[in-house]
C-alpha cells in the first residue's frame, strides 16, 4: 500500500487494484470497412472453409474433408421463405400464401451438402459478424431472432448456381460469432457468458484481386 499526496490531500492506493479491472470498453469502434472485408471474404467457399478451420467442432461437420468446397454452400445476407405465424388455424389457403419471404438477421449461412448426391444435409452454420455501432444486446438479439424464425418451417432462397438443390427439411443450426480486436470487452464477455462460440478476427485489407473469380451460372 502506498500513500500519495496531491494538493494537500492524501490518497491510499492499493497496488493490486491496478491489475484487477477488466479491459476497458472505451475502445475504437468497429469500422464499416472491417465488417465489409470479412463478409466478402467469408462469402466464398474457400473463405468459409478457412474460417471453419479455426473452429474445429464446426469443421468436423463438413460431410467430406477430401472435397470440402463441394460439401458446403455459402449464402451471404441470406433470405428464406418462412411459414407465416398467422397461418396456424387458417383453412383453404395455398401453401405459397402461408409463407413470407424474410431477410434474415445473420450475416452468412453455411449449408452443408452431400458432394456426391448434391443434396442439402441437416447441418447449418450461421455466422454473425459484429457490426459497426452494434452492442451486445443487438448482436445477441440477431441470434435470438434467427431462433424464432427457424423454429418454423422454412426454405432457403438458394444461390443461382444451387437452385436445383433441395433446401427444405429438418435442420440443426449452429451459431458462430465473429468479433474484432476493437470489439468492446463486454460483448466478448457476454457471448462467453451465454455459452456462444466466437472468434476474434483481424481483417486483411489487401485481398488479392487475382484470387477473385466471377462465378459462372452455366
Specify if 41 maps to a domain.
yes
pLDDT for the residue 3? 44
Specify if 46 maps to a domain.
yes
DSSP annotation of 201: E
pLDDT for the residue 92? 52
Separation of alpha carbons 90 and 87, rounded Å = 5
Which tens digits make up the pLDDT trace of 50-73?
Answer: 999 999 999 999 999 899 888 999
Specify if 79 maps to a domain.
yes
pLDDT for the residue 161? 82
Specify if 10 maps to a domain.
no
Specify if 7 maps to a domain.
no
pLDDT for the residue 60? 95
Domain that holds residue 167: 25-84+101-205
pLDDT for the residue 157? 92
Separation of alpha carbons 65 and 88, rounded Å = 41
Specify if 29 maps to a domain.
yes
Specify if 68 maps to a domain.
yes
Specify if 216 maps to a domain.
no
The three-class DSSP label of residue 125 is: strand
> Could you report how far apart the first and last alpha carbons of the chain are, in Å?
74
Whether the predicted model's global pTM rises above the 0.85 cut: no
Q: Which residues of the chain have pLDDT under 50?
A: 1-24, 26-27, 95, 206-218
Helices (H), the chain: 32-42, 45-52, 56-59, 136-149, 185-193
Give the chain's domain count. Answer: 1
Amino acid at each position: 500500500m502506498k500513500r500519495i499526496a496531491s494538493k494537500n490531500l492524501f490518497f491510499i492506493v492499493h497496488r493490486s487494484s491496478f491489475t484487477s479491472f477488466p479491459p476497458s470498453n472505451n475502445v475504437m469502434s468497429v469500422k464499416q470497412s472491417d465488417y465489409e472485408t470479412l463478409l466478402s471474404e467469408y462469402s466464398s467457399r474457400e473463405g468459409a472453409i478457412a474460417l471453419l478451420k479455426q473452429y474445429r467442432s464446426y469443421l468436423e461437420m463438413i460431410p467430406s474433408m477430401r472435397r470440402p468446397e463441394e460439401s458446403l454452400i455459402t449464402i451471404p445476407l441470406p433470405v428464406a421463405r418462412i411459414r407465416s405465424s398467422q397461418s396456424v388455424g387458417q383453412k383453404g389457403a395455398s401453401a405459397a400464401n402461408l409463407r413470407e419471404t424474410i431477410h434474415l438477421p445473420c450475416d452468412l449461412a453455411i449449408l452443408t451438402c452431400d458432394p456426391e448426391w448434391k443434396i442439402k444435409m441437416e447441418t447449418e452454420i450461421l455466422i454473425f459478424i459484429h457490426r459497426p455501432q452494434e452492442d451486445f444486446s443487438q448482436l445477441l438479439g440477431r441470434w435470438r431472432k434467427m431462433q424464432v424464425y427457424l423454429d418454423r418451417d422454412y426454405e432457403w432462397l438458394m444461390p443461382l448456381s444451387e437452385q436445383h438443390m433441395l433446401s427444405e427439411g429438418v435442420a440443426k443450426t449452429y451459431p458462430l460469432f465473429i468479433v474484432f480486436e476493437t470489439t468492446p470487452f463486454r460483448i466478448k464477455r457476454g457471448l462467453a457468458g451465454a455459452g456462444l462460440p466466437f472468434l476474434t478476427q483481424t481483417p486483411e485489407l489487401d485481398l488479392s484481386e487475382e484470387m477473385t473469380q466471377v462465378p459462372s451460372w452455366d
